[in-house]
Every structure is written in C-alpha cells, then in structure tokens.
Amino acid sequence: MAPTLVPPRRSVPEPALEWDDGEFTAKSSRGAVMSTVFMRRLSRWQAESERENLGDLYLAACQEAPDLFPLGREEFIRQLVDEDGGEPEFDMMVASDPSLVGCVYGYRADRGSPWWEAFDGVPSEISELTAARQVFVITTLLVAPHRRRQQVATKLQRQLLARSRAGLYLTLIDPGNSPARAAFQSWGWTKAGQLTPTDGSHPREAWTSTG
C-alpha cells in the first residue's frame, strides 16, 4: 500500500486561490500571482501512460522524507499499474503547471473486499463506521516539494472526494507523519482508530470523512 504524504504545515499564511474550471491561480499572502496549476482526472489507462512521470513525482517527494516512503520508484509504479489501478472505481486526480506537481488516488474498498484482508482484525470503532457503507480509500497523496504550502494537496483531495458517491472516505496515516495528520484534520477528517497490517509492520492511524 502506497504511503500518504502531504505538504508540511508551516506557521505562514496560506495563499489565496482563484478557481476557474479545473485550474487555480496560487497567490502569496500579499496578493502576488505565483502561477496557474491545472487539475484533471486520469483514468486507469491514462495513469498507466503517465507512469514514468508519476514515478518521478514519487521519487522527488521521497527525497525529502525517505522514512515515509517504503517503496522504491519502480515498486511504486508496479503497485500503481498492476494493483491499485485495477481496483473497483479507481480514480485519480493530478495537478500540473504544466509538469506534474501533484496527484491523489484511491478506490472503493467496502467491507468484505480484499483490501481489508491486509489487516489483522478490524477494531470495533472502525467496524461500526464501515459495516453498512460504501467505503472509498485514499491510498496515495503526493505533492512536489516546490509546490507545497500552496494548497495543491487540499484541492486534490477535495476534487477526488467530490467525484465519489461513497458514504465514507478512509485513509491511513503513519503515526510519525504529523504533517499528514495536521492536514487531514484541517480538512475535517477525524481519527477513527488504527489498523494493524498482517505483514508485521507497525499500525497505521485510520482517518475518516463523510465528504
């Protein structure tokens, strides 16, 4: 399962953003225009055609926080193309300026689906939330280092969720990834508990949202 990474939260004003049909213009706190970022959806097949660019984005992100990225570049691409891309209702949003600067993707993983078999039991608090709902799991969120703190991650996850009809959204966060925790909390997500992988790796925090 690919990790979740979001831009670190800093004690600086967030830039203002102007939206126009799938793009936004980032501005500094003083109103200076920075540049335009374009957003678009990729199908499974389009994501496969962008595999090398997505691999480069992953590599750029992991250079600043290698401990949060357990996969190598080629393994990340293989998992995206051969595994994640084939899951039910796989969906991806990317951001470009025009080079690829961010992406977020996930898929449906209702209770009883193979995704849950990767964990050693499901705590009651998570079981109650997911038992009778359609669940969409965000597996990966990446932003290029030079585009962090410009709300690219915020807009990517918002657009992805807006496209889904699921009743519950879920993502897993490494306990040591405090920037991710702070970001998802600021987006209205709440910690529902934790899930322990069957491969012996440490537990992950499960965060949920109803959109």
Q: What CATH number does the domain containing 151 carry?
A: 3.40.630.30
**Among 113, 122, 137, 110, which residue's Cα sits nearest to residue 195?**
122
Within-domain flag for 173: yes
Q: Is the pLDDT of residue 50 over 60?
A: yes
Q: What is the mean pLDDT of residues 142-159?
A: 90
Q: Tally the domains of the chain.
A: 1
The token duo for 210 is 């109803």
Q: What is the mean pLDDT of residues 38-53?
A: 94
Predicted confidence (pLDDT) per residue in 129-138, tens digit: 888 789 999 9
pLDDT of residue 101: 95
> What value does the mean pLDDT of the chain take?
83
Within-domain flag for 8: no
Within-domain flag for 69: yes
Q: What is the mean pLDDT of residues 8-28?
A: 38
Q: Which domain holds residue 167?
A: 17-209
Within-domain flag for 12: no
pLDDT tier at 85, thresholds 50, 70, 90: very high
Within-domain flag for 21: yes
pLDDT tier at 19, thresholds 50, 70, 90: very low
Q: Is the pLDDT of residue 170 over 80?
A: yes
pLDDT of residue 5: 47
pLDDT tier at 22, thresholds 50, 70, 90: low
Q: How far is CA 75 from CA 51, 53, 78, 103, 160, in A?
A: 11, 14, 5, 17, 24
Q: What is the mean pLDDT of residues 81-89?
A: 93
Q: What is the DSSP letter of 150?
A: T
Within-domain flag for 170: yes
Within-domain flag for 10: no
Within-domain flag for 35: yes
d(CA 207, CA 77): 25
Q: Is the dihedral of CA 162, 117, 207, 39 positive or negative?
A: negative
Sequence-distant (≥ 6) Cβ neighbours of residue 51 within 8 angstroms: 77, 80, 81
d(CA 143, CA 54): 11
pLDDT tier at 6, thresholds 50, 70, 90: very low
Q: Which residue has the higher pLDDT, 177 or 96?
A: 96
